[in-house]
Amino acid sequence: VGAEEVAEPFRLLAPDGSAVGDTDVGLEADDLRDLLRWMTLARRLDRECIALQRQGELTVYPGFEGQEAAQVGSAVALGPDDFVFPTFRELAAALVRGVDPVQYLAYHRGTWHGGPYDPRATRFGPICIPVATQIVHGVGYAMGLRLGGAAACCLAYFGDGSASEGDFHEGANLASVFRAPAILFCQNNGWAISVPTADQTRGEIWRRAEALGFRGVLVDGNDVLAVYRVTRQARDRALAGEGPTLIEARTYRIGAHSTADDAGRYREEADVDAARASDPIARYRTWLLASGHADEGFVAGCEAAAEKRVLEVREGVVSQPPPPAEWMFDWAYADPPATLQRQRAEALGGG
């Protein structure tokens, strides 16, 4: 590290749940309780997905345990007209944006690519596997918002590994040059599969914004209130015509990269234990109870509701029929060429 001092992430709640800043972020009591509802549901569903994969009901699944606050806090900060471009690890954000989890999980069931939910209706882009390409989509969408004079912004999620890609830099630079109402939201979860962030970059990701002429923010990604606050500020700035913001939310990937990965090959269990001690849900629950906005009964109710919802989702996922073969041909082109129509007939047994 050069002359720069090591920055402290913006934080409203300490890991033990005590307030260390102004926790009045403009949310009503109901909204504050919703944050815990969403995080509780997200974690329960994430664990269920891993179980579903082990039982052969899903293909490879990328878990997000530990990142609930980063996703929920940022997604809740968006308005209904805002648009999100996710990576492949944003199930929690998808839930908040109103994406039907059964449709979302059709992706991981291997039923369809992208995700069969309607990205325009949900304002949540297709699941994106190629690393960092979705950042540019988010910036392009935001450029369109500015051209059309819309009072909305676009948020693109990405990870610490994605920040090493060319598309991160191209997207960030375009966002800056065109003053696009974009939020580039990095969940730095410490790991790009097996490579720790320290081996990914010697600098801090949020600082790159300054070099490109726009605003960068570092936030404690395990503090849902702080994440909400900085995302909301970024959104306000975007809508006011003040251009993009790069947010780096420091969090931790508690689980493996995916169900196909064995994290024991590259990291110590002790490191993970330290991260578990900084659990985002426990932190927020402690504060919420202490603040008087919720009681133990509410917490128990959240867990029961999550349990019930997750069982519904499981049922929806496992009862999904395999897709018909003609789907391969149905949407490749708006007007399929004659050659493709012949192949379709051949594939479906009519040729």
Partner 1 sequence: VVAEAVTMARALNAALRDSLLEDPRLLVFGEDVGRMGGVFRVTDGLQAEFGIDRVFDTPISEAGIAGAAVGLAFGGWRSVVEMQFDAFSYPALEQIIDHVAKMRERTRGRVEMAITVRIPAFGGIRGKEHHSESPETYYVHTAGLKVVTPSSALDAYRLLRLAIADPDPVIVLEPKARYWSKEEGDLTTEGPRIGEGRVLRDGGTCTLFAYGAMVARCLEAAEALEAEGVGLRVVDLRSLSPLDVELIGRCARETGRAVVVHEAPRTLGLGAEVAALVMEEAFDHLEAPVARVTGWDVPYPPAALEQHYLPSVERICDAVRRTVAY
253 is catalytic: yes
User: Which of 79, 196 has the CB closer to partner 1?
Assistant: 79
| Strand-pair category, 215-220 with 245-250 | parallel
Binding to partner 1 by residue 118, rule CB under 8 A?
A: yes
User: What are the angstrom distances between the C-alpha of 51 and each of 41, 57, 280?
Assistant: 15, 9, 22
Total binding residues for partner 1 by CB under 8 A?
45
Contacts with partner 1 in 17-46 (CB under 8 A)?
A: none
Residue selected from 166, 203, 213, 351 as contacting partner 1 according to rule CB under 8 A: 166
Residue 203 to residue 111: CA distance in whole angstroms: 40
Residue type, 184: L
> Minimum distance from CB of 343 to partner 1 (Å)?
10
Residue selected from 140, 190, 216, 243 as contacting partner 1 according to rule CB under 8 A: 140
> Minimum distance from CB of 149 to partner 1 (Å)?
10
Residue selected from 6, 80, 269, 339 as contacting partner 1 according to rule CB under 8 A: 339
Binding to partner 1 by residue 148, rule CB under 8 A?
A: yes
Binding to partner 1 by residue 138, rule CB under 8 A?
A: yes
- DSSP per residue over 249-316, as a string? EE----S-SSTT--GGGTS-HHHHHHHHTT-HHHHHHHHHHHHTS--HHHHHHHHHHHHHHHHHHHHH
| Residue tagged active-site, from 207, 266, 267, 309 | 266
Residue 75 to residue 310: CA distance in whole angstroms: 20
Binding to partner 1 by residue 157, rule CB under 8 A?
A: no
Binding to partner 1 by residue 147, rule CB under 8 A?
A: yes
Q: Helix crossing, 224-239 with 29-54: angle to 10°?
A: 110
6 near 195, Cβ under 8 Å?
no
Cα angle 156, 31, 73; round to 5: 25
Residue selected from 25, 35, 155, 174 as contacting partner 1 according to rule CB under 8 A: 174
| Residue tagged active-site, from 44, 109, 257, 283 | 257
Catalytic residue numbers read: 253, 257, 266
Residues at the site binding partner 1, with contacts judged by CB under 8 A? 83, 85, 112-116, 118-120, 125-126, 130, 133, 135-145, 147-148, 154, 166-167, 170-171, 173-174, 177, 330-335, 337-340
